Structure formats: C-alpha cells, structure tokens
Amino acid sequence: MLDKVEEYIEEVKKATANTANELEEYRQKFIGRKNVITDLFSEFKNVPNDMKKEFGLKLNELKTIAQDKFNELIDVAGDQGGAEGDSQIDLTLPPVPNELGSLHPITITQNRIIEIFERLGFSVQDGPEIEDDWHNFTALNFPENHPAREMQDTFFIERNPDQLLRTHTSNVQIRMMEHGKPPFRSIMPGRVYRNEAISARAHCFFHQVEGLYVDRNVSFKDLKQTLYHFSKELFGKDTQIRFRPSYFPFTEPSAEIDISCFICKGKGCKVCKHTGWVEIAGSGMVDPNVLANCGIDPEEYTGFAFGMGIERIAMLKYAIDDLRLFSENDVRFLRQFKGVI
Ligand code: PHE
C-alpha cells in the first residue's frame, strides 16, 4: 500500500493540466470529495501497526503536494474546472466598486460662475464656435484692417477666410442683440480659440464667460457693483476690487478688473507677483457703435459688458500653475476635483 502512495506522489509531481477538463480530472482524482487520498486514509485501519507511522507520514505528504500542485495548475489552466465549491474564487467577496467620475475643474468653475450670475437675474446664452467676421469682429467695432484685430491671433478657415474660430464669446452678445429687443441681461460661457504657442500660461483654446447688460439707464456703477458682488461671492467676502483703465474696441470706457489677492490678502505673494492684486476680467460700457450695429438706439439704451477666462479663475482658485493640465486628460489630475468651489 505504501507503494501505491509513492506511485500517486510521482503521478502528482508529473501532473499537468492545460485545459479546464484536464484540471477537472486532476481535481476529481486528488482533491474532490471522494478522491484517491481519502480512499487511502480509510484503508489506514488495515495497515499493520509498525507501518502506521511511515504510512501516515507518506499519506500526509501526498495530500499536501496534491493540494499544492492543484493550486499551481489553476494558475496555468485557469479556474474553469472547479464547480464544486473547491473553486479558488470566493464568490461571497464584495465586488471592487466602480470608481465614480468627477466633473472637470473647468466645468465646476463655470457652473459656479453661472450660479452667481443667475442669482442676479442673468440668463445663460450659447452661440456658434465657428463664426463669421461680422459677429466676431466687425459688429464689435473692430474696423477693417485695424491693428486691433491683431490683439487676438485668429484661426481662419482656409476655404473661406470670412469664417473663423471665435476668439471670444462676444459673438454671442452680437447675435443676441441682433435678434432680440432690450433689455438684455445674459452671460455667455463657452470655448474660444486663439492662435498662440502652447505654454504653461497660454493655449490655443480656452474658455470664457462674458456678460452683457443692456437697458435704459445702465451705468458704470452697475458694472462696478455687479463685478464687486461677483468677486466677493467667488473669492470671499473680504475681496476688494479695482478698475484699471484699458482699451477694447467694443467698450468705451474700458477697464481691466483686478481683485485683491485672496491668498496673501493683499500683502504680496507669488500668485499676485507681489503686487497684492490679480487680474480677473476685462470690462467696459458697450460702445454706442456696437449697439447701433445691432439695431439698438444708443441714445435710448446703454449697457455694460465684461469677459473673463475660466481657466484663469480655476488656476487662481485651485492654485494650478500650468494651463496645459486642463486639456491633457490625466485622470490623476482630474480626479482631485470632486467638490464644488
Ligand atoms: N472679449 C474680450 C476678450 O476676449 C473680453 C471683454 C468682454 C472685455 C467684454 C470687455 C468687455 O478679451
């Protein structure tokens, strides 16, 4: 009988299983509920006493190597064989949860900006990204061949130079005013394109939110108060704002808007380049020519407009120092933005 055990040990050592069937055969013979090893154990009582020890040891050895071998074979042949609860897969384990996606930081920032303006009664307007010269430039008081057009490096469509990728969402202001009647109180979030070399600070596409408010008696103080409220909502109630004179063809007067640096509270740090202020938007009173171009009487109506880069706001809020991260789709970057700002 000892010989039988030795024989099985040899057989186990040599065993291979390349298919699920072969694995199952092995399993039934050496591991399953009624296997050859248990049969041998039940013979134990018939073994002469002086042989019991040796036989027992050998039999246990067989049992161990049979199990070890089985584990090895599973790795090779896969675990398709064991249907009888000897399977190595524990079906009672909870599944690995699917990871939930998260909103893109640009979407989170855009949603927050929309939320603040919606509470002030601004609606959200959308418009085309492929635009004609009139809506992107001419109606906005950019004179033909005027160097002001070069302020924004434009991608023109080769087959039709009258078509271009919009350089700002101001085109939506024109479309709105052309097709409607004042009052207008809207913001226009969207993607814009500029032919710029890609770097940590500039990209060939980015996102903007522009705003337009046209009605009777809209004045510069409405612009100031609206942007002041917005800045405090987004960056904290202690935020101060200042207006710096600037130039845009479509607004007169024009101003650049700075907020007091919310990181150092105006003391000076890396983010504000030690000035205590960071620029967040361009703005101004809508130029009378722009209103007239859209069929609105500038004697009767006035308006203000502003525009800001969403990437810029997100970079300030989240202390991100490279613009390229927003469009590289690296999930290690993206999955950090779970909440709202
Ligand atoms: N359209 C301007 C830009 O893209 C931003 C702006 C909008 C400035 C409205 C003033 C008023 O730079």
Question: Ligand 1: which of 153, 168, 279 to mutate, most ligand atoms within 8 Å of CB?
Answer: 168
Number of domains within the chain? 2
Peptide bond into 253 cis (omega under 30): yes
Dist CA 113 CA 198 (whole Å): 26
Determine the 3-state secondary structure of 32 from DSSP: coil
Residues in Cβ contact with 117 at an 8 Å cutoff, skipping those fewer than 6 apart? 187, 209, 211, 230
Per-residue pLDDT for 294 more than 60? yes
| Full-model pTM | 0.72
Strand order in the sheet with 205-215: 123-124, 184-193, 205-215, 302-309, 277-286, 251-260, 241-248
Cα of 191 vs centre of ligand 1, distance in Å, is 14
Cα of 108 vs centre of ligand 1, distance in Å, is 22
Which residue, 34, 51, 86, sits at the end of a domain? 86
Note the pLDDT tens digit of each residue in 235-276. 999 999 999 999 999 999 999 999 998 888 888 888 888 999
Any domain includes 283: yes
Query: Using an 8 Å Cβ cutoff, are 209 and 308 in contact?
Result: yes
109 and 73 in a single domain? The answer is no
Nearest CA to ligand 1 atom 7: 307
CATH at 117: 3.30.930.10
Dist CA 177 CA 230 (whole Å): 24
48 and 152 in a single domain? The answer is no
174 and 240 in a single domain? The answer is yes
Nearest CA to ligand 1 atom 2: 307
Query: Using an 8 Å Cβ cutoff, are 243 and 257 in contact?
Result: yes
Any domain includes 44: yes
Query: Using an 8 Å Cβ cutoff, are 164 and 155 in contact?
Result: yes
The structure tokens listed for 214 are: 């046209």
The structure tokens listed for 205 are: 């596409």
Q: Which residue has the tokens 């814009």?
A: 192
Which residue, 56, 86, 116, sits at the end of a domain? 86
Question: Ligand 1: which of 150, 165, 170 to mutate, most ligand atoms within 8 Å of CB?
Answer: 170
Residue 161's pLDDT is what?
A: 81
Note the pLDDT tens digit of each residue in 198-243. 998 889 999 999 999 999 999 999 999 999 999 999 999 999 999 9
Determine the 3-state secondary structure of 305 from DSSP: strand
Cα of 299 vs centre of ligand 1, distance in Å, is 23
42 and 151 in a single domain? The answer is no
172 and 296 in a single domain? The answer is yes
Cα of 221 vs centre of ligand 1, distance in Å, is 18
Determine the 3-state secondary structure of 302 from DSSP: strand
**Binding-site residues, ligand 1, Cβ < 6 A:** 168, 170, 210, 248, 251, 282-284, 305-307
172 and 275 in a single domain? The answer is yes
Per-residue pLDDT for 87 more than 90? no
Dist CA 147 CA 52 (whole Å): 105
Dist CA 78 CA 269 (whole Å): 60
Torsion angle of alpha carbons 52, 56, 58, 59, nearest 10°? 130
Any domain includes 289: yes
Residue type, 279: E
Confidence of residue 321 (pLDDT cuts 50, 70, 90): confident
Note the pLDDT tens digit of each residue in 153-180. 889 888 998 899 999 999 999 999 999 9
188 and 46 in a single domain? The answer is no
180 and 269 in a single domain? The answer is yes
Query: Using an 8 Å Cβ cutoff, are 214 and 181 in contact?
Result: no
Cα of 290 vs centre of ligand 1, distance in Å, is 13
Question: Ligand 1: which of 193, 248, 306 to mutate, most ligand atoms within 8 Å of CB?
Answer: 248
Dist CA 176 CA 184 (whole Å): 8
Taking Cα atoms as reference points, which of 291, 140, 276, 305 lies closest to residue 213?
305
Any domain includes 98: no
Any domain includes 118: yes
Any domain includes 99: no
Cα of 114 vs centre of ligand 1, distance in Å, is 17
Cα of 90 vs centre of ligand 1, distance in Å, is 61
Determine the 3-state secondary structure of 140 from DSSP: helix
Instruction: Give the structural domain span for 220.
Output: 105-337
Any domain includes 93: no
Any domain includes 94: no
29 and 176 in a single domain? The answer is no
Peptide bond into 147 cis (omega under 30): no
Confidence of residue 82 (pLDDT cuts 50, 70, 90): very low
Cα 337 to its chain centre, rounded Å, is 8
Note the pLDDT tens digit of each residue in 39-76. 998 888 888 899 889 999 999 999 999 999 999 888 87
Which residue, 86, 115, 146, sits at the end of a domain? 86
19 and 146 in a single domain? The answer is no
- Work out which ligand 1 atom sits closest to the CA atom of 210: 7
Residue 89's pLDDT is what?
A: 80
DSSP state for residue 190 in the 8-state scheme: E
- Work out which ligand 1 atom sits closest to the CA atom of 151: 12
44 and 111 in a single domain? The answer is no
111 and 68 in a single domain? The answer is no
CA distances from 237 to 17, 240, 267 (A): 72, 9, 17
